[in-house]
Chains A and B, each alone.
Chain A
Amino acid sequence: MSEPWKKLGRELADELDERPGEAEELARAKQAVLREIARPKRRAPVVWAVAAAAAVALAVGVGYRARGGDVSYAVVTSGAPVAAPAGVWLDVPEGEERAVQFSEGSTVLLAATSRARVSAVRPDGATVTLERGRATVSVSHRPGASWSFLAGPFDVRVTGTRFELDWDPAKELFLLAMQDGSVRVTGPTLGDGATLVAGQRLRVSLRDGAVPAASSASPRPSAEIVPLPASSTAPSDAVPSARRAPVDDAPPTWRDLAARGEYGKAMTAAEADGVASILGQGSAADLLLFADVARFSGKPALAREALLAVRTRFPGSQQAALAAFSLGRMGGGEALAFFERYLAEAPNGSLAREAMGRVMELQQAGGNAAGARETAKRYLARFPGGPHAALAKALVGAEPDGGAGRVLE
């Protein structure tokens, strides 16, 4: 290896090693490892929600540990740790997320604008009430574990599993998508309850019995359980037969394929469905997902079209702001305007730090030294330790008449 490469490699390795909190991080990891290997094997040791929550926890230096007795928990955000005693409502602001990390490893990731609380904690689990919004849940599989998730009139009983839970009180719409394990759901229209297993999705609309799914079954049922991918291993007796939708042989949709990361196949399936239909009638989430599919299958122009469709069809929404950020990331002459648009629409959004950094970079690149300095000041005030802090400091320190190129002393 030549000397410049060796030197840079060493510098970068040193930079990586300087990350603070390693000892505490390893101590927590050791405790978790010893706890885990003392248990029977579970199917999915780490899921993305846990990883995301742990990453956030690391970023803010939040620690937690079991103390015996009831499970404990901490709420972590991208800003500051929040201690939340049992019973306190958690209102997730627009453009942000909240992760509730339990001491025994379970995680509840609350999406933007959700409202939820941990209404009870016990030695064997907890009860979480989702008043509105979306929760991505990962419950550690432990012998005797008992967890309950309340969403409106529905009760989801869990021992160890992963799933996404949505409750929209305005529309009285309940959605549950299983990723792993099984749950037992009770509530209106479900009779004695329904058991869902990995790969199934339950939708219940209490308002008028309508199911806002692609199903064209008539008359429309008030509750429907459908398998997610065609390869679902759901046992046939897992749900009451009267409510099982007749779609067992359906091929995977482009959404299913996208969720698996098979973007090329997803694009083929989407084209078969009709791209115009997706762009004109798809939900905001569908459009964002479709843009993802388009980008990763090598069709950036189509991705851009989908993102612009989000902005024109869902103005003012969180997804529209996210689309603006994504459009900015795609570069081109409008990148700066899109990043600024994101900041205007989601000033406290989870991508605000990055968007502001990009604005600063693009202003500097475009020769707008004064604008870049102003952005740099705002950046340092909000994100003094952010990834663009060095550039911001240099910009602020540069002479006003020094030109855009003179930034680093």
Chain B
Amino acid sequence: MTPLAPSDAAEPPTRMGEVVALPVRRAAAKRTDGQLVEAAVRGDEAAAGEIFDRHAPRVRRVLARVLGPDGDLQDLVQDVFVFALRDLSKVRDPDALGAWLTGVAVHTARRAIRKRTRWRWIRFFAPEDVPEQPSDGHDHDASEALVATFRILDRLPADERIAFSLRFLDGMELTEVAAACDVSLATVKRRLRRAEDTFRAAAANDPALRDRLHTDTEEGP
């Protein structure tokens, strides 16, 4: 590996606790994903950085949509890229790097979900214990709906949750969800159906979601 970029090394010292926005270095000519993968496998750190710059926002979005607003996103983004950049030689289709990284992100999110269940004592929203709020007949803002949504998603098995999140929150096509989860289309449909049933039933009792979904009449995602 080559040393860190000069622009990083030349940064002035910062105070402890200070938030630092690092400069994002751009390549002079845009390389394809395939070219970047090839270069990164050879040990070109600039190419590795470019892969990060190009795909990290999407990876972060996938993680956020599966894990919710309280996910340890920075750590998980790091996990995804440390794993991916070390295993780039295993990418079968370098030009489909984005889809492969989405798959790695989904795998990482699944691990995080399973790890979370072991530390439920310190979580704020215990899935099965949250008392239902009574209906107050008023609209709730999106942040409440978001909390309510992830409170329900926390009850789902990891695979169902992931499929539902990618379809419902990320808007992926069914084939994309199947590819990201590395399962067949039929399996994804089964998972979505189960997840939807659970979500629909729970949403019907949650004032933050009930009115938004009209769950008694509408078809699901």
Contacts and interface: CB of A to CB of B under 8 A. Distances in A.
A50 B14 CA distance: 22
Residue with the highest number of chain A CB atoms closer than 10 Å, among B1, B9, B131, B138: B131
Interface in B163-181: 167-171
Q: Which residue, A4, A22, A45, A361, has most C-beta atoms of chain B within 10 A?
A: A4
Nearest to A69: B13
B56 A30 contact: yes
A238 interface: no
A16 B64 contact: yes
B124 A33 contact: no
B2 to A, nearest CB: 9
Interface string B1-31: 1001000110101111111111010000000
Interface stretch (B47-55, B89-97, B99-107, B182-190): B47-55
A2 B168 CA distance: 11
Contacts of B130: 329
A41 B136 CA distance: 54
A48 B121 CA distance: 14
Interface residues of A, number: 90
A409 B66 CA distance: 31
B220 A5 contact: yes
A404 to B, nearest CB: 8
B158 interface: no
A358 B130 CA distance: 9
A46 interface: yes
Contacts of B218: 2-5
B214 interface: yes
A375 to B, nearest CB: 15
Given A12-B169, A58-B74, A330-B129, A83 B15 contact: yes
Contact of A407 (B56, B136, B212): B136
B17 A82 contact: yes
Nearest to A259: B118
Contacts of A23: 21
Interface stretch (A60-68, A122-130, A160-168): A60-68
B143 A11 contact: no
B149 interface: yes
Contacts of B169: 9, 12-13, 16
Interface in B28-73: 45, 48-49, 52-53, 56-57, 60-61, 64-65, 68-73
B78 interface: yes
B49 A30 contact: yes
Given A5-B213, A391-B144, A29 B77 contact: yes
Contacts of B57: 22, 26
B205 to A, nearest CB: 13
A4 B213 contact: yes
A335 B24 contact: no
B78 A63 contact: no
Given A31-B22, A54-B75, A296-B120, A17 B134 contact: no
Contacts of B167: 1
Contact of B56 (A4, A29, A35): A29
Nearest to B52: A30
Interface in B114-162: 115, 117-122, 124, 126, 129-131, 133-134, 136-147, 149
A61 B218 CA distance: 41
A381 interface: no
Contacts of B52: 26, 29-30, 33-34
Interface residues of B, number: 84
B131 A365 contact: yes
A296 B119 CA distance: 11
Contact of B138 (A24, A50, A326, A409): A409
B78 A33 contact: yes
A26 B143 contact: no
A73 B219 contact: no
Contacts of A57: 74
Contact of B79 (A31, A46, A52, A64): A46
A361 B19 CA distance: 35
Contacts of A329: 126, 129-130
A9 B134 contact: no
Contact of B22 (A7, A27, A38, A390): A27
Contacts of A30: 22, 24, 49, 52-53, 56, 81
Nearest to B139: A408
A354 B70 CA distance: 14
Contacts of A24: 19-21
Given A31-B8, A62-B17, A335 B131 contact: yes
Given A5-B220, A46-B78, A330-B129, A13 B65 contact: yes
A310 B82 CA distance: 43
B75 A50 contact: yes
Contacts of A21: 19
B79 A13 contact: no
A48 B146 contact: no
B202 interface: no
Given A288-B121, A390-B143, A406 B136 contact: yes
B213 A8 contact: yes
Given A5-B168, A63-B20, A296-B120, A41 B213 contact: no
7 contacts: A16-B146, A27-B21, A30-B81, A63-B20, A64-B17, A65-B20, A387-B143
Interface of A: 1-17, 19, 21-38, 41, 45-46, 48, 50-52, 54-55, 57-58, 61-65, 67-68, 72-74, 81-84, 260-261, 288, 292, 296, 322, 326, 329-331, 335, 350-351, 354, 358, 361-362, 364-365, 387, 390-391, 394, 404-409
